[in-house]
Amino acid sequence: MEWRLRREMVSVAKRIDERRLVAASDGNISVRIGGGRFGTGRILITPSGIALGSLRPQDIVMIDHKGRLLSGDLKKSSEYRLHLMVYEVRCDVQAVIHAHPPVANAFTFAGVPLDPCIVPEVVATLGRIPTSDYGTPATDEGATVARELIAEHDAIMLQRHGSVTVGESLVSAYHKLEKLEHTAEVLLAAYQLGGPKKLSQEEIEKLGKLREDLGIGAASDVLRACRPADR
Ligand SMILES: [Zn+2]
C-alpha cells in the first residue's frame, strides 16, 4: 500500500512537471495513509528541494499529523503545515497537491477573480475557485489563510502564491489542478476576446441539478457559490 502510494506520487509529480504547473523545486504533494481523520496518523509528503520532475519513490518522507518525521532521509516539504491543515479540516480528503499554475497565479497577481460562474463543467464539478487572502508561504499564516476556503472547496488559489487542490485520491486532486489551470487559460483567452459572458441564473440552477444528478454534491453548493450578489 505505502509503496503503491509512493509510485503514484512520483507519477503525478511527473505529470505536474510536464504540464509546467510548477517551476524548479516548487510544488508539493501529500497523501494520507489509511482513511478517516488522520487515518493511521501517517502522511507521505514530497521532500523539500527536489524538483517534482526528478522525484523518486524513496525520496518521499513520512510524517505524523504534527509534522514529525517518521521515516525518510530528506527534509519534509516546507509547506507541510498547509497539508496538515487540510487533513485536519477535511476528513474526506486523502490527497493534497500544492502547485504554482502560472496562468491561475497571474489572475491572483492581477487581482482578477478566478471564480465567476462562467465555465459550465467547472460550475457543476468544482462550484467555484475562490482566492484566499495573502499569507507568507511556508508559514503557519500561509496555511491559516486557506483554512476556511479549503473546508468548503476542493480547488482554491492562495493569493500571490499558488493552488491547493484536494481529493479522495491523488488522481482526483491532480485532475482538479488541471481543471483549475485550464479554466484560467480559457478565461484569459475570453478576457482577450472582449470579456467572458456570465451564465444566467436559470442555467446556474440547471447545473446545480446536474451536480446533484451526477452525485458530485448538492445543488445548493452551486447556488451558494454563484449567488447573484457575487456575480
Ligand atoms: Zn508554493
Q: What domains are defined for the chain?
A: 2-230 (3.40.225.10)
Query: Residue 231: its pLDDT value, please?
Result: 46
Query: Residue 126: its pLDDT value, please?
Result: 84
Residue (of 217, 111, 128) closest to 180 by Cα position:
128
How far does residue 52's CA lie from ligand 1's centre (Å)?
13
Dist CA 61 CA 215 (whole Å): 35
User: Angle at which helices 170-192 and 102-110 pack, to 10 degrees?
Assistant: 60
Query: Residue 178: its pLDDT value, please?
Result: 96
Q: Give the pLDDT of the chain (231 residues) as one tens digit per residue.
A: 899 999 999 999 999 999 999 999 999 999 999 765 555 679 999 999 999 999 999 999 999 999 999 999 999 999 999 999 999 999 999 999 999 999 999 999 999 988 778 888 888 888 789 999 999 998 999 999 999 999 989 999 999 999 999 999 999 999 999 999 999 999 999 999 999 888 898 999 999 899 899 888 888 878 877 776 544
Q: Cell match 452551486: residue? A: 222
> How does strand 42-45 pair with strand 69-71?
unpaired
Name the 3-class secondary structure at 102.
Answer: helix
How far does residue 130's CA lie from ligand 1's centre (Å)?
17
How far does residue 78's CA lie from ligand 1's centre (Å)?
9
From the CB of residue 216, how many other CB atoms can be counted at a distance below 10 Å?
Answer: 15
Query: Residue 216: its pLDDT value, please?
Result: 83
Query: Residue 38: its pLDDT value, please?
Result: 52
HSE-up of residue 116 (Cα within 13 Å, Cβ side): 17
> How does strand 61-64 pair with strand 162-167?
unpaired
Q: Which residues surround ligand 1, an ion (CB under 5 A)?
A: 162
How far does residue 210's CA lie from ligand 1's centre (Å)?
34
Query: Residue 125: its pLDDT value, please?
Result: 86
How far does residue 98's CA lie from ligand 1's centre (Å)?
6
How far does residue 87's CA lie from ligand 1's centre (Å)?
18
How far does residue 193's CA lie from ligand 1's centre (Å)?
31
> With a threshold of 0.85, does the pTM exceed it?
yes
